[in-house]
Amino acid sequence: MCCDKYFSYRAGQCVADSNCTTECPDPCQNTDITSYANELNCRSFYECNDKKSKSICCADGQGFKNGTCVDDDLCTMPCPVDAVQLEIQQNTATTNQPSPNPSCSLEAVGAGQFQLIGNANKDHIMSCPGNLVFSVKKCTCDFPTKDVLDTLPRECKPEVCVDFEQKMNPVKVENYNNVTISGGRGHFNGDSYLAIPLYSYNERFSKRITIKVLFKSKPGKGQDRQVLISNCRTEISARGSRLSPSLAIIIDKSVGQNYVIFLGTTKNNGNASIAHTFQPNQWTGLELVFDGERLTASTNTIDYETGASIESQFDTKELTGELKVGLESLKIGKCLDRDGFHGEMDNVCIGDCLNGYFSGNPNA
């Protein structure tokens, strides 16, 4: 394990250490590597030149995938300031992405229930009359034919759900450096974080997963990149301190605009990233779904009191296989000393429902 300069490896993580002045070796010193992806930016990658890393950025409308720049309309992130931007490459592959019903602002949350997309308030879930069920295709209640029923999400309980309304189960959720709970919300100060041991070395977690979280970031606080949720490390290598998550949701304020970034990496080194904008000091609902074929992300700016969606973003990217297995607990709010989240969270839920609606108490 190698931590960045001024950090040392202690108790399973990199911590600040002003006496540690040794820098990690450049990954390009490995002669087998010609390039590698920037895990925090879908357009950016590093090219090895004389065993040194050079920051490169794909052209507008393209993303870096499987070692090359390909057409990708969903990759809209700006280039890092230190990157050399490429021109459009010819004869590149085009990714065909599935999309939801674009004309429907409603989603099914059970056989006979539906809600506005992005709703975070259970009191604003609506029911179909009688024995009718909600049809996503028709965007209305319909008779329960097989075709309609096959498109409905299944209801299931989350494995872990932190609602910050009551004392957390210490077996399922560990509280480090005092994440404070008040007003039904968790308050993170950049040093505090939660850890969920259940997802350490968890092969099932690599096959399919859904994560939902409601957060509000404090403007002007903390580093440009802050961890909301991450499994932090999937390998021990020379770049260990720079993290190697296979699944993560982070916020990035380094390019002059506020982004929330959803990341996924599979065992065959396939990777996908989705970037959505968000507003600091505004409650934002996030959902990440991995089903073995694609990574799907939705971001909804909401009215916290009513649960109504103010603005929604939705994207999906191909990502086939199984996620790399995390080597440590799933972290909420922090991986390293320098990436701690500053702000509030509510309703952090994790389970294996795919396009499903979490319902009930995971402890019941």
**Structural domain spans, the chain:** 7-85, 106-150, 155-358
Does position 231 have pLDDT exceeding 80, yes or no?
yes
pLDDT band of residue 258 (cuts 50, 70, 90) is very high
- Residue 104, classified by CB atoms within 10 Å of its CB into exposed (0-12), middle (13-18) or buried (19+), is middle
- At residue 17 the predicted structure's pLDDT band, cuts being 50, 70 and 90, is low
For residue 24, pLDDT over 90 is answered with: no
Predicted pLDDT at 364: 40
Structure-token pair, residue 22:
């040794």
pLDDT band at 252 (very low <50, low <70, confident <90, very high): very high
Q: What pLDDT score does 87 carry? A: 64
Between the alpha carbon of residue 21 and those of residues 2, 29, 37, 161, the distances in Å are: 12, 20, 26, 40
Mean of pLDDT values over 111-130 = 68
Whole-number pLDDT of residue 334: 94
Per-residue pLDDT at 15: 61
Q: Which two tokens stand for residue 121?
A: 């308030």
Contact present, 251 and 217 (Cβ < 8 Å): yes
Does the pLDDT of residue 220 top 80, yes or no? Answer: yes
Question: Is a pLDDT exceeding 60 seen at residue 34?
Answer: yes
HEC profile of 295-330: EEEEEEEECCCCCCEEEEEEEEEECCCCECCCCCCE
Please state, for a pLDDT cut of 90, what percent of the chain lies above it: 27
What pLDDT is recorded for position 358?
58
Q: At 261, list the tokens.
A: 């970034």
Strand partners for 64: 69
pLDDT of the residue at 307: 73
Least trusted range by pLDDT, from 18-22, 54-58, 81-85, 103-107: 18-22
Q: What's residue 273's pLDDT? A: 92
Distance, in Å, from the CA atom of 139 to the CA atom of 118, rounded to the nearest integer, reads: 16
**Spatial CA neighbour of 231 closest among 332, 353, 344:** 332
The residue among 26, 354, 350 whose CA lies nearest residue 213 is: 350
Residue 99 has pLDDT above 50, yes or no: no
The partner residues of 53 in beta bridges, in order of sequence, read: 48
Q: DSSP letter at 83?
A: P
**Is 60 exceeded by the pLDDT of residue 119?**
no
Q: Can you give the pLDDT at residue 139?
A: 83
- pLDDT on residue 283: 94
Give residue 128's pLDDT. 82
Query: Strand pairing partners for 211?
Result: 288, 350
| Residue-wise pLDDT tens digits, 295-336 | 999 999 988 777 777 888 989 999 999 999 988 899 999 998
Mean pLDDT, all residues of the chain: 79
DSSP code of residue 76: -
pLDDT for residue 8: 62
Task: Determine the topology of domain 155-358 in CATH.
Answer: Jelly Rolls (2.60.120)
pTM: 0.61
Q: What is 229-244 written as a DSSP string?
A: EE--BS--STTGGG-B
- pLDDT score of 229: 96
When comparing pLDDT for 65 and 324, which is higher?
A: 324
With a cut of 70, say whether residue 221 has pLDDT above it: yes
Residue 90, pLDDT above cutoff 60:
no
What is the tens place of the pLDDT at every residue in 121-158?
A: 555 678 888 778 788 778 888 887 766 665 555 556 67
Stretch 190-210: mean pLDDT: 88
Q: How far apart are CA 287 and CA 45, in angstroms?
A: 26
23: Cβ contacts below 8 Å, ≥ 6 apart:
4, 5
Give pLDDT, residue 198. 85
